[in-house]
Amino acid sequence: EVQLVESGGGLVQPGGSLRLSCVASGFIFSNYWMHWVRQGPGKGLVWVSRIHSDGGSSTSYADSVKDRFTISRQNAKNTLFLQMNSLRAEDTGVYYCARAADGYNYFDYWGQGILVTVSS
Amino acid sequence: DIVMTQTPLSLSVTPGQPASISCKSSQSLLHSDGTTSLYWYLQKPGQSPQLLIYDVSTRFSGVPDRFSGSGSGTDFTLKISRVEAEDVGVYHCMQGIQLPRTFGQGTNLEIK
């Protein structure tokens, strides 16, 4: 069974940092592109970032988080990360990790989500 | 960025009746290989999104056949032939032809 479990969220002050983790199980993690998607309170889904299956060859970011967030992965530990720096109030929301289906651009499995609150 | 526009934003349906949601993209979602990167997700209350439909009309594993997708180019539709109580939640369309991936605003379906 495919499982994605996020952790690392919480309350942080504006300008602060957090590191989210997503532990994968039930599939060969190193074979899949992985993404982060967030959802502000009462709002829609917003794509944040993606990383190539090998972890090093390709990463992409939404303009709103570029130069502040860094996506990475450790395939040996089946773990995806999102390092979030210079956090703003508008970064508040639930963050989901999602797996991109093999050879496709859709997300076939999502984690349960982790709440990040940026507030003083 | 590709803008995805869903209508309606909310829907109240009697069980057993059909429902339809429209999703329009600001650019064509047709790839040069002939596939079209339009996907539908359902986010049930308190849950993460779950994939319903990919490539416009292909149901994901385990999705009931009362769900169907159609459309081409920039205009797409999700139909539920007979709504059931378990179908409540927010329906999202998403495009996968270019970065950034973008979603519609979401359509909230409730049961009358």
Does the distance separating the beta carbons of A63 and B102 come in below 8 Å?
Answer: no
Contacts of A60 in chain B (CB under 8 A): 99-100
Q: A interface mutation test: which of B101, B102, B103, B108 has the most A CBs within 10 A?
A: B101
**CA torsion angle for A94, B22, B112, B105 (degrees, to 10)?**
20
SS3 of A53-108:
CCCCCCEEECCCCCCCEEEEEEHHHCEEEEEECCCCHHHCEEEEEEEECCCCCCEE
CB pairs under 8 A between A and B: 57
Q: What pLDDT is recorded for position B13?
A: 97
A96 touches chain B (CB under 8 A): yes
Q: Which pair of tokens denotes residue B27?
A: 């650019």
Does the distance separating the beta carbons of A110 and B49 come in below 8 Å?
Answer: yes
Residue of chain B whose Cα is closest to the Cα of A35 = B101
State the pLDDT confidence band at A34, using cuts at 50, 70 and 90. Answer: very high
Does the distance separating the beta carbons of B48 and A47 come in below 8 Å?
Answer: no
Q: How confident is the prediction along chain B (112 residues), in pLDDT tens digits per residue?
A: 999 999 999 999 999 999 999 999 999 999 999 999 999 999 999 999 999 999 999 999 999 999 999 999 999 999 999 999 999 999 999 999 999 999 999 999 999 9
**What residues are paired with A51 via a beta bridge?**
A34, A59
CA A31 from centroid of its chain's CA atoms? 17
pLDDT digits (tens, 9 = 90+) for A10-22: 999 999 999 999 9
Contacts of B49 in chain A (CB under 8 A): 45, 96, 107, 110
Tell me how far apart the alpha carbons of residues B96 and A35 are, in angstroms, rounded to a whole number: 12
Of B54, B94, B100, the CB nearest to A104: B54
**What residues are paired with B91 via a beta bridge?**
B42, B107
Sign of CA dihedral B105, B109, B110, B112: positive
Q: Tell which A residues from 34 to 73 touch B, by Cβ distance under 8 Å.
A: 35, 37, 44-47, 50, 60, 62-63
Residue of chain B whose Cα is closest to the Cα of A37 = B101
Q: Is the pLDDT of residue A56 over 80?
A: no
Contacts of A46 in chain B (CB under 8 A): 103
The per-residue b/e assignment along B40-77, b for 16 or more CB within 10 angstroms, e otherwise, is bbbbeeeebbbbbbbbbbebbeebeeebbbebeebebb
Q: Which pair of tokens denotes residue B82?
A: 């007979």
